[in-house]
Structure 1
Amino acid sequence: MTTQRVHNFSAGPAMLPLPVLEEAQRDLVSLPGVGMSVLEISHRSKAFAAIIESAQADLRKLLAIPDGYHLLFLQGGATLQFAMVAMNLGRDGRADYIDTGSWAKAAMKEAQKFTKVQTAASTQADNYNRVPRQSELKLDSGATYVHYTTNETIGGVEWHEYPEVGAVPLICDSSSDFLSKPFDIGRHAVVYAGAQKNVGPAGVTVVILRDDMLKRVPAGLPVLLDYKAMVEGKSLYNTPPVFPIYVVGLVAKWLLGLGGLAEMHARNQAKARLVYDALDSSGGYYRGHAQPGSRSNMNVTWRMGSEALETLFVKEATAAGLDGLKGHRSVGGLRASIYNAFPEAGVKALVDFMKEFQKKHG
């Protein structure tokens, strides 16, 4: 059994900060002052009340969440939010969706079951290698909301500016770049994010919801799919994912200790730049997928001359302690996911490996 940690480039569940893992390891046996594991405490206990309140307070501080917004810890991942957004906020109306890749497409497919979905823009014709320009957005001023996906993990494209949508409520799936940079919550009506990229382990979804949106929630929804019921229950209507929420709180404290999201953004930009520079300086040996203006700081995607060469790259990289570089099964290629917790040393190890691989096989 190996005890040495490899460089984990997985798209999610992804790396967690080592200090967070070490603190969780300690509390796994006995929470200080409680005498039982964090896995064992009641969600109605004072100990857990302190955990969830601290996590919410630290997230509000990190994101500078304005007054008038609710912060929920829900279950079901972003995939369940694809449905909840539409069934809570889009009934008897029409909603604009901006299609930038696989996850935006998945959100649209699910929303179609509950509302009329209109494609405000799509970059499918460009093989999803960029996000749309503002001038390309065909927005409906009568839409119930506009939905976009801030970062596409599969194609490796990211929004670096917010879409301008006028008075229509703006909603986003921010799962894969949540807490990676400063983010203007006040421009959005709803922001949701599965935790397993940047925030914590799989099992909890952070939902930030502007209060006026609750007026739109129709009666008769199943209770666990009802935003109003979740707000009234303070994320405790039923047993919440106690351990994932606890880890989210540890991650939030870790980020605050680093200096907050501006510092994290600078680190993420520096890491991504190292990989993109390696792609751009390879003379076409490594071909980046995303156009420069839409390149993701979280998920760097590229192709090589043949699938056989890509398979060999993954095999040799894995043997060298660089794990999880195979691209998504739907598109192939290669992908390095370098979320918040991923160390710069791991990025440099990848870049060195890429250069050596090109010398050896180029």
Structure 2
Amino acid sequence: MKKHNFNAGPSILPQEVIERAARAIVDFNGSGLSLLSISHRTKDFEAVVAEADALFRELLNIPDNYKIFYVGGGASTLFYEVPANFLAKKAGYVNTGVWSKKAIKEAKRYGEIEVLATSEDKNFTYIPKGFAIPEDLDYLHITTNNTIYGTEYHEDLSSPVPLVADMSSDILSRPVDISKYAMIYGGAQKNLAPAGVVFAIIREDMLDKQVRDLPSMVSFRTHVENNSMYNTPPVFPIYVLMETLRWLKSIGGVEEIYRRNREKAALLYAEIDRNPLFRGTVAKEDRSLMNICFVMEEGYEELAPEFLEFAKSRGMVGIKGHRLVGGFRASCYNALPRESVEALVACMQEFEKEHAK
């Protein structure tokens, strides 16, 4: 039976990327050595990092005054490294869910945090809009896609202060105006690579705004000046990231994947809205393209466990909702084919025929 991978993360990657990575594990670049045991100082691996940088720049139209670097860990590492580098007195945060709250918690260690807007009043089912941004902030931090609740920014925010964004779960899924951001960062395990590496895109002038004496590994300047090689980087995830960027370019780049993502999301949201057994959980204008959350409609709640087993029996993997919200979550990252969404829709329709009143 074909499996349809809707896991929220680590998530689906393109099959051809997985196959190329598997070959590189056996023999990297014809060297006779495994990718897992080569030196990161070899010219072959330096070429991997250089190509990843070049592809990132091309696919996202990154201006020349931005630097890219990769470090081990996850976005949670950057939750404290961002304020460690940039928070002198006060920073603004928008609270749109669990990951925002964790970033806020870490930032409070370094200075005053002003939560400029929050959607907690409605269990994070919408993206706050129209809030004022004080001009005396060191920076403003947002989380562009909220994997647990299924909300997403669909336009780049304009900010009078440096804008920092955690784009872990929607990087390269849609066009982004990089010039509006002082820094973008994220864990790679949604749309780019296996867990273990963080990407960061930072405007050069921000490197001069480090506000305190920091350990070398925490300073962003360290990693920029050493081309992500200050210490041994996570070689395998960076290689897979590079191969994923190659794949994305080969299919037509960000515009094409954005078209596919909108198409997949529209297909599934239309079924959620049509099917009397299910309902969406967030404001329609803020619905995520990446993490589509839904629950059983009122009167059918007791069917939730049965639907999970029904879907599992038809090859659906990872659609159980996060424990904080329950219900179901279909994560439709870049590499998920339309056919998998069509299979889930067919599954929902079949379940409806058996159970609709």
Bin of the TM-score, shorter chain as denominator length: over 0.9
Q: Deviations over 1:301-359 (max 9, x none)?
A: 01114654222211121121101000112221110001000010000000000011122
Report the counterpart of residue 289 of structure 2 in structure 1: 297
2:194 maps to a residue whose letter is P
1:313 maps to a residue whose letter is F
> Is residue 157–residue 180 contact of structure 2 (8 Å, CA) maintained in 1?
no
2:274 paired with 1:275: no
Match of 1:45 among 23, 42, 46: 42
Q: Deviations over 1:14-62 (max 9, x none)?
A: 0000110111121111023311111111001111111111111111111
1: CA distance between counterparts of 2:354 and 2:135?
56
Report the counterpart of residue 345 of structure 2 in structure 1: 351
2: CA distance between counterparts of 1:222 and 1:349?
50
2: CA distance between counterparts of 1:245 and 1:115?
33
Match of 2:92 among 79, 92, 96: 96
Alignment of structure 1 residues 70-149 onto 2, 5 Å: 70-90=67-87, 92-133=88-129, 135=130, 137-149=131-143
2:209 maps to a residue whose letter is R
> Is residue 87–residue 115 contact of structure 1 (8 Å, CA) maintained in 2?
no
2: CA distance between counterparts of 1:163 and 1:253?
28
Gaps of 5+ in 2: none
2:289 maps to a residue whose letter is N
2:17 paired with 1:20: yes
2: CA distance between counterparts of 1:355 and 1:131?
30
Report the counterpart of residue 315 of structure 1 in structure 2: 309
Offset of residue 148 of structure 1:
0.6
1: CA distance between counterparts of 2:282 and 2:27?
46
2:218 paired with 1:225: yes
1:338 maps to a residue whose letter is C
> Is residue 7–residue 321 contact of structure 1 (8 Å, CA) maintained in 2?
yes
TM-score normalised by structure 2 residue count: 0.97
Offset of residue 119 of structure 1:
0.8
Match of 2:205 among 199, 212, 232: 212
> Is residue 307–residue 333 contact of structure 1 (8 Å, CA) maintained in 2?
no
1:89 maps to a residue whose letter is F
Secondary structure, in 3 states, of the residue corresponding to 2:227? coil
Offset of residue 201 of structure 1:
0.8
Offset of residue 255 of structure 1:
0.4
Secondary structure, in 3 states, of the residue corresponding to 2:114? strand
Secondary structure, in 3 states, of the residue corresponding to 2:142? strand
2:177 paired with 1:181: no
Match of 1:328 among 322, 325, 330: 322
Offset of residue 71 of structure 1:
0.2
Q: Deviations over 1:49-104 (max 9, x none)?
A: 111111111111111110111101112211011111111011x3101111111111
2:84 maps to a residue whose letter is M
After the TM superposition, which parts of structure 1 deviate over 3 Å for at least 4 consecutive aligned residues?
A: 305-308
The change in CA–CA distance for 1:105 and 1:307 in structure 2 (over 3 A counts) is farther
Offset of residue 5 of structure 1:
5.1
What is the RMSD of the two structures over their aligned residues, measured on CA atoms?
A: 1.2
2: CA distance between counterparts of 1:345 and 1:82?
36
Comparing 264-273 with 122-131, greater Cα deviation is found at 122-131
Q: Deviations over 1:220-270 (max 9, x none)?
A: 312111111111121111100000000000000000001110000000000
Report the identity percentage.
44
Secondary structure, in 3 states, of the residue corresponding to 2:217? helix
Report the counterpart of residue 69 of structure 1 in structure 2: 66
> Is residue 70–residue 209 contact of structure 1 (8 Å, CA) maintained in 2?
yes
Report the counterpart of residue 197 of structure 1 in structure 2: 190
> Is residue 289–residue 332 contact of structure 2 (8 Å, CA) maintained in 1?
yes
The change in CA–CA distance for 1:52 and 1:260 in structure 2 (over 3 A counts) is same
2:156 paired with 1:162: yes
Aligned residues: 354
Comparing 207-216 with 30-39, greater Cα deviation is found at 30-39
Comparing 271-280 with 137-146, greater Cα deviation is found at 137-146
Secondary structure, in 3 states, of the residue corresponding to 1:239? coil
2: CA distance between counterparts of 1:32 and 1:124?
50
2:245 paired with 1:245: no
Match of 2:278 among 281, 286, 290: 286
2: CA distance between counterparts of 1:143 and 1:218?
14
2:2 paired with 1:9: no
Report the counterpart of residue 151 of structure 1 in structure 2: 145
Offset of residue 219 of structure 1:
4.3
Q: Deviations over 1:255-286 (max 9, x none)?
A: 00011100000000000001100011113x21
2: CA distance between counterparts of 1:7 and 1:211?
41
